[in-house]
């Protein structure tokens, strides 16, 4: 089984990404289940604005798209900015919009029988909303979202520390991330054995 994590931080490599650090806990728990897991830091690539899979010269999306269709599990990891998913996460969702009209060999939307979850970090409140926004979009596109397939970290109220500035709440966030990995794996496995059939 394969998983891809799209880290939607605004910060390019090699800057430290708090979102990556929390996502890494999910990656670790997926790998314990022998899931071949690959992380892409989207902002390091040129993902052009638009809603088609291949926007031609200078567009790095086709390579990311290929990872998506090769993976049964997708994790979107995003910071919270002004209470909402990052512009990089929304860019990813826009490019995934084209998957609505892409089909697998049996004529199903290509996202069917794949599962998705969300990891959120922020230095302020907003995670539950970000999770609903991203999960809702992925459900539109055809991904199945297992119960409790998310984790997050922040510390309110108001602007606060970043994930690595404190240990507050790490235990809860990591434990919730491990549950997320278990649920992604279990539902992906169930769908692998008994997939949604063609219409």
Q: Which two tokens stand for residue 93?
A: 């969702």
- In sequence order, what E strands does 54-130 have? 73-81, 84-85, 115-121
Residue 142 found at the interface with a copy of itself (CB under 8 A): yes
Q: Which of residues 180-199 bind a copy of itself (CB under 8 A)?
A: 182-183, 186-187, 189-191, 193-197, 199
Among 106, 156, 161, 164, the residue binding a copy of itself under the rule CB under 8 A is 156
Q: Is the peptide bond before 163 cis (omega within 30 degrees of 0)?
A: no
Tell me how far apart the alpha carbons of residues 143 and 12 are, in angstroms, rounded to a whole number.
Answer: 28
Q: How far is the CB of 38 from a copy of itself (least distance, A)?
A: 22
- How many CA within 13 A on the CB side of residue 184? 38
Q: Which of residues 119-138 bind a copy of itself (CB under 8 A)?
A: 124-129, 131-133, 135-138
Residues 77-116 that bind a copy of itself (CB under 8 A): 81-88, 90-91, 93-94, 96-97, 109, 111-112, 114
For the chain, give the number of residues.
199
Smallest gap from Cβ 124 to a copy of itself, in A, equals: 7
Q: Which of 34, 105, 158, 167 binds a copy of itself (CB under 8 A)?
A: 158
Our finding on whether 26 is near a copy of itself (CB under 8 A) is no
Site for a copy of itself in 49-68 (CB under 8 A): 49-51
Tokens encoding 123: 């230095």
Size of the site for a copy of itself (CB under 8 A): 75
Q: Which helix (H) or strand (E) holds 4?
A: strand 2-7
Q: What's 166's DSSP letter?
A: -
- Dist CA 85 CA 128 (whole Å): 11
> Which of residues 27, 119, 154, 181 is near a copy of itself by CB under 8 A?
154
Count CB neighbours of 137 within 10 A: 20
- Specify the residue, 70 or 101, whose C-beta has the smaller distance to a copy of itself: 101
2 versus 108: smaller Cβ distance to a copy of itself: 108
């Amino acid at each position: 089984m394969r998983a891809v994590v799209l880290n939607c931080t605004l910060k390019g490599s090699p800057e430290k990404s708090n979102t990556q650090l929390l996502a890494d806990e999910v990656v670790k728990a997926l790998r314990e289940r022998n899931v071949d897991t690959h992380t892409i830091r989207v902002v390091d690539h040129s993902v052009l604005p638009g809603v088609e899979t291949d926007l031609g010269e200078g567009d790095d999306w086709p390579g990311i798209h290929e990872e998506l269709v090769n993976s049964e599990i997708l994790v979107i990891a995003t910071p919270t900015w002004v209470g909402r998913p990052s512009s990089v996460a929304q860019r990813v969702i826009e490019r995934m919009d084209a998957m609505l009209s892409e089909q697998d060999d049996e004529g199903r939307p290509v996202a069917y029988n794949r599962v998705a979850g969300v990891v959120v970090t922020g230095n302020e409140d907003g995670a539950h909303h970000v999770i609903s926004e991203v999960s809702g979009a992925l459900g539109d596109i055809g991904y199945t979202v297992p119960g409790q397939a998310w984790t997050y970290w922040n510390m309110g109220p108001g602007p606060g520390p970043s994930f690595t500035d404190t240990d507050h709440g790490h235990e809860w966030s990591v434990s919730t991330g491990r549950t997320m990995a278990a649920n992604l794996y279990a539902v992906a496995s169930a769908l692998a054995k008994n997939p949604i059939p063609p219409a």
